[in-house]
Structure 1
Amino acid sequence: MQKNNFQKELTISAIQKRNGAGNKKNDVIKIQSWLTLFAMSNPSSGTATGIDGDYGTATEKAVINFQKAKNLSETGVIDQETFSLLCEPMKDAFEGNVSGNGLRELVVNTALNHLKSVPFELVINNEANSGPWVRAYMGGNEGTEWFWCMGFVQAIIDQAATLQGKNFKTLMPLTYSCDTVGTTGLQKGLLQRFASVRSNPEKVRPGDIFLLQKTPHDWTHTGIITKIDNDTFETVEGNTNNGGSNNGNAVLKRVRNFRTSKLDVFSIEPLV
């Protein structure tokens, strides 16, 4: 894979514990982030805690609660084995078994596999668009200005293409910009404008990428198309929310009406 920054999110440099001599702030932030993410899927676990890089009594208690939830020894200490359980959702998303009949099905199934792991952004140091999932999709970058919808889309395309021994950068450049991909689509003749999409929806296929158009050369959001019906696309999108925002906080499955929204479509056919 070209986009392999996720690997850095799966390890810590040393055992971390309260007042530990070997504590590293970045490792503690990782631990606190995954404890908080675990609480989102397990709200009664008592693992949500502050994300400040300080392994104090609150973090220790959150670790104990995680260990209790996983039937582990309740030591309050995080070694690599325990940390691997914390970040298991990301490992499953990026390295889990995904199959499909052809690249398009692989793209869809890879997106759905990520969806199962509930990728979610965090607010760290008062900065939204932060946390391990954002860094994984965005090459280590995070913070309020780092909208991550295209980072998510390219991670999915890259992962699926790699399973077939293909390089997704033959289709589009590595970028976090919807505008760059939209412009590439225009240059290569791969971008179907929304008016054409409405007239010829049969030309859109699962695995293609929608780009939400603001103006003809300005796109504000993107996602993977997983199914096409008469009026709608079913999608998997990053950096969205229940309202369909282009700066939400999660990976979600959505339904978008392409007859009432300006959805241009970038075809992945040359990579197929």
Structure 2
Amino acid sequence: MQKTTYQKELVISATQKKNGADNTKKDVMKIQSWLNLFSMVNPAAITSTGIDGDFGTATEQAVINFQKAKAIPQSGIVNQQTFSLMCEPMKNAFEGNTTGAGLRQLVVITAMNHIKNRPFELVINQQSNSGPWVRAYMDGNEGTPWFWCMGFVQAIIDQAASLQGKNFKTLMPLTYSCDTVGTTGLQKGLLRRFTAVRNNPSLVKPGDIFLLQKTPHDWTHTGIITAIGNGIFETVEGNTNNGGSSNGNAALKRIRNFMQSKLDVFSIEPLV
């Protein structure tokens, strides 16, 4: 894989605990981030706490509540074993057993596996588009300006391609920009304009990438097409929400009407 920053999100440098001599702000913020992400999926566990890098009484109690939810000793201390339980969703998303008949199926299955593990952004230091999932998709970058939909798409394509020993950068450059990928598609003859897609939906196949067109050379959002129906695409998208925002807070499955929306499509066929 080309995009391996996620591996840094799976480890802490030392055991972290209340007033611990080996505590680091970075590691404590990682722990606090995963405690908040766990709370989103398991609200009854009461693990949500501030993300400030201070391992105080509140963080200690959140850790105890997490340990209780996981049925492990409730020490309030986070060693690597406990942290690995916290970040297990990311490990499963990036390293889970994925098999498929060909690259297109691998792309779809990989995308679905990420969704199953609930990628979600956090607000840290009053900055949206932050947290371990965003950093994993955006090669360590995070913060309000870092829209992560293309980082998500490229992580999926990269992960699926690497299972076949292929380098996704032969298809497109590593980028976080929809405009860069759209322009690359035009230059390589791989971008199907929305008018062509509407006239002939058979041009589109699962695993291809949609680009939401604002103007002919300006695209504002992207995602993986997982299925094609009667006038609709089923998709997996990062940095969206239930309303289809191009700057939402999660990775989700969606349905988009390509007869009404200007959805250009980038074909991954040369990588297949």
Superposition TM-score, scaled by structure 1 size: 1.00
Query: Aligned to 2:123, what secondary structure does the other structure show?
Result: strand
> 2: distance between equivalents of 1:184 and 1:56?
49
Give the aligned partner of residue 48 of structure 1.
48
In structure 1, the residue matched to 2:169 is 169
Give the secondary-structure state (helix, strand or coil) at the position aligned to 2:45.
coil
Counterparts of 1:39 and 1:149, CA distance in 2: 23
Cα deviation for residue 86 of structure 1 reads: 0.2
Amino acid aligned to 1:204 = V
SS at match of 2:159: helix
Question: Which residue does 2:147 correspond to in 1?
Answer: 147
Partner of 2:248: 248
Query: Residue 73 of structure 2: SS of its match in structure 1?
Result: coil
Deviation sequence 1:228-247 (CA, Å, 0-9, x none)? 01200000000000000000
1:196-253 CA-to-partner distances (Å, cap 9, x unmatched) read: 0000101100000000000000000000000001200000000000000000000000
Tell me, what secondary structure is at the counterpart of 1:255? strand
CA shift, 1:15, in A, is: 0.3
**Aligned match of 2:213:** 213
SS of 1:35's partner is helix
- SS for the counterpart of 1:207 is coil
Query: Which sections of structure 2, spanning at least 5 residues, go unmatched?
Result: none
Task: Compute the displacement of 1:48 (Å).
Answer: 0.5
Structure-to-structure mapping, 1:196-207, within 5 angstroms = 196-207=196-207
For 1:79, the equivalent position in structure 2 comes to: 79
Mapped to 2, the partners of 1:60 and 1:2 lie a distance apart of: 36
Taking the TM superposition and a 5 Å limit, the aligned residue runs for 1:232-247 are 232-247=232-247
Kindly state the Cα deviation for residue 57 of structure 1 after the two structures are TM-superposed: 0.2
Return the alpha-carbon distance in structure 1 between the equivalents of residues 28 and 246 of structure 2: 30
Distance 1:167 1:73 in 2: 43
**Counterpart of 2:114 in 1: which secondary structure?**
helix
Partners of 1:22 and 1:83 lie apart in 2 by: 15
The equivalent residue for 1:89 is: 89
1:32-71 to 2 correspondences below 5 Å: 32-71=32-71
Aligned partners of 1:67 and 1:271: how far apart in 2? 44
| In 2, Cα distance between equivalents of 1:101 and 1:164 | 11
Letter in 1 for 2:125: N
C-alpha deviation, 1:87, in angstroms: 0.1
| SS of alignment partner, residue 43 of structure 2 | coil
- Aligned partner of 1:197: which letter? V
Structure-1 separation of matches of 2:206 and 2:175? 22
Matches of 1:158 and 1:74 in 2, distance apart?
Answer: 39
Matched letter for residue 11 of structure 1: V
Distance 2:65 2:235 in 1: 35
1:44 counterpart SS class: helix
Match status 1:14 vs 2:17: no
Which of structure 1's runs of 4+ aligned residues deviate more than 3 A? none
Q: Which residue identity does 1:80 align to in structure 2? A: Q
1:107 aligned onto 2:135? no
Distance (whole Å) between structure 2 residues aligned to residue 168 and residue 96 of structure 1: 19
Task: Write the distance in 2 (CA, Å) between the matches of 1:266 and 1:70.
Answer: 42
Indicate yes or no: 2:28 matched with 1:28.
yes
1:2 match:
2
State the TM-score, normalized to the length of structure 2.
1.00
Amino acid at match of 2:80: Q
Give unpaired runs (5+ residues) of structure 1: none
Corresponding position of 2:117: 117
Give per-residue Cα distances to partners, 1:146-167, cap 9 Å, x unaligned.
Answer: 0000000000000000000000
What percent identity do the matched residue pairs reach?
78
Give the distance between the partners of 2:179 and 2:200, measured in 1 at CA: 23
The amino acid across from 2:90 in the alignment is M
Matched residue SS, 1:55 = coil
How much does 1:16 deviate? Answer: 0.1
Q: Aligned partners of 1:41, 1:98: CA distance in 2, in Å?
A: 23
Aligned residue type for 2:253: K
SS of the residue corresponding to residue 270 of structure 1 reads: helix
